[in-house]
Amino acid sequence: MSVPATDALAAHAAGVERLLASYRVIPPKATVRLAKPTSNLFRTRAKSDAPGLDVSGLTGVISVDPHARTADVAGMCTYEDLVAATLPYGLSPLVVPQLKTITLGGAVTGLGIESASFRNGLPHESVLELDILTGTGEVITASADQHPDLFRSFPNSYGTLGYSVRLRIELEPVRPFVAVKHVRFHSLTELISAMDRIVETGGYEGVRIDYLDGVVFSADESYLCLGVQTATPGPVSDYTGKDIYYRSIQHSTGEKDDRLTIHDYLWRWDTDWFWCSRAFGAQNPTIRRFWPRRLRRSSFYWKLIGYDQRFDIADRIEKRHGRPPRERVVQDVELPIERTAEFLQWFLDEVPIEPIWLCPLKLRDRQGAGAWPLYPIRAGHTYVNVGFWSSVPVGPEEGYTNRLIERKVSDLDGHKSLYSDAYYSHEEFDELYGGETYKTVKKAYDPDSRLLDLYSKAVQRR
């Protein structure tokens, strides 16, 4: 084992005791919530004066077993800390979500994705077992064999069935560098066709591909970004300084090569929060020169977003310039790959947001859509995650553009992640996100409704 096992286990045990103690002092009629000041969720979080769960002792890596290729990790451990513990052993989680402060528990009870998802699926599929604090105040170990109903329903439950305390996950070997090839396309249909071939064959022009994602700048400028792990040393790029990763992708025609360390590849999107740092001026060369490197990261941009939400800064600026307020359109949706080009063209025609991120995924699990009932996409079928994160002028009703997108995604047999604003009716929501299965599991593990239900948390936001 790496990570001093005795100390880490003792610290984790003490953290669990503090968690349970904090549960016991929450009034019986109060909703149980995390006492957590930060979040990677974009939907409004309800305010509460009641004490929350103390998760301050659940932030570390408990152990790494390089021989079994597994790690035991506390639920609030960030992927930044997890990767720092596994890379010295030449190992990585099977899927590393793009932002450093996403927690392992958050990626499992929500949904995480990255460029390894076309071969490794979603983060919850690499979980072997996990300890969950349920609404009853018990810590239950769940796996495919123990409490399988809770294990299968936990992904996409967003803390409404319980909170992960410890997770045991699979790891995979990685090499020190990633050679990246950016392939340009002038047609969305051609880009999606090429993506489909790579997912099905696992390679491109006879070379095995380890990582695959893409960026759409416009209908006639889009790219696939192909990553290949390598041990061959050589010069590498650094996108934590003046250079900006997503701008490095662009070129006029053909292909463009790049190289990064495996560490920098895994965090290539974090420095500029994909491209969202431009909203804060961080991509302006003059400002960037004086912007401290330690503050070029998603967690700091989150703080700026928090100030904006608290003081309505953006809307005040719009009003001062005689413009209407803006609607936040920050979403990730999954489309069947055969419907993705149609969605992209519709989106480019209807929604003034660019660039757009693309990330293909195929579930590892072969048990069918029912295997993960709260996000029932088809096993063995390729989907494409489409991510778009910006704002548009407000429409004639609250959430106008988000509602348009929800309807289009449903029309194309897609699904939408629930980390941001949602506007579904209760009936639509039940049909899309678990319905009776969710209600049955909820009743079994949170019979007194100490935790919010999923619809209340994801849509009503009370």
For the segment 103-121, what is each residue's pLDDT rounded down to a tens digit? 999 999 998 999 999 999 9
Residue ranges of the chain that CATH labels 3.30.465.10: 5-174+449-460
- CATH placement of domain 5-174+449-460: 3.30.465.10
Q: Which H/E stretch holds residue 317?
A: helix 313-320
Cβ distance 337 to 344 under 8 Å?
A: no
In terms of pLDDT, which residue wins out, 191 or 366?
A: 191
Residue span(s) of the chain under CATH 3.30.70 come to 312-423
| pLDDT on residue 462 | 45
Q: Please determine, for residue 39, whether its predicted confidence score (pLDDT) is greater than 70.
A: no
Mean pLDDT of 360-389: 86
The reported pTM is: 0.93
411 pLDDT band (50/70/90 cuts)?
very high
Handedness of CA 7, 11, 16, 18 (dihedral sign): positive
Q: What is the pLDDT of residue 49?
A: 61
Rounded Cα distance, 244 and 358, in Å:
18
Segment 268-316, tens digit of pLDDT: 999 999 999 998 999 999 999 999 999 999 989 888 887 666 656 566 6
Enter the tokens of residue 128.
């072997």
Q: Give the H/E segment covering residue 439.
A: helix 435-445
- What whole-number distance in Å separates Cα of residue 411 and Cα of residue 336? 11
Q: What is the pLDDT of residue 149?
A: 96
Q: Can you tell me the mean pLDDT for 247-266?
A: 96
Confidence bin at 144 (pLDDT 50/70/90): very high
- Looking at residue 217, its amino acid is F
The answer to whether residue 370 scores a pLDDT higher than 90 is no
**Is 47 a residue whose pLDDT tops 70?**
no
CB neighbour list of residue 179: distance below 8 Å, 6 or more residues apart: 227, 228, 229, 230, 257, 258, 259
CATH architecture of 312-423: 2-Layer Sandwich (3.30)
Q: What pLDDT is attached to residue 301? A: 86
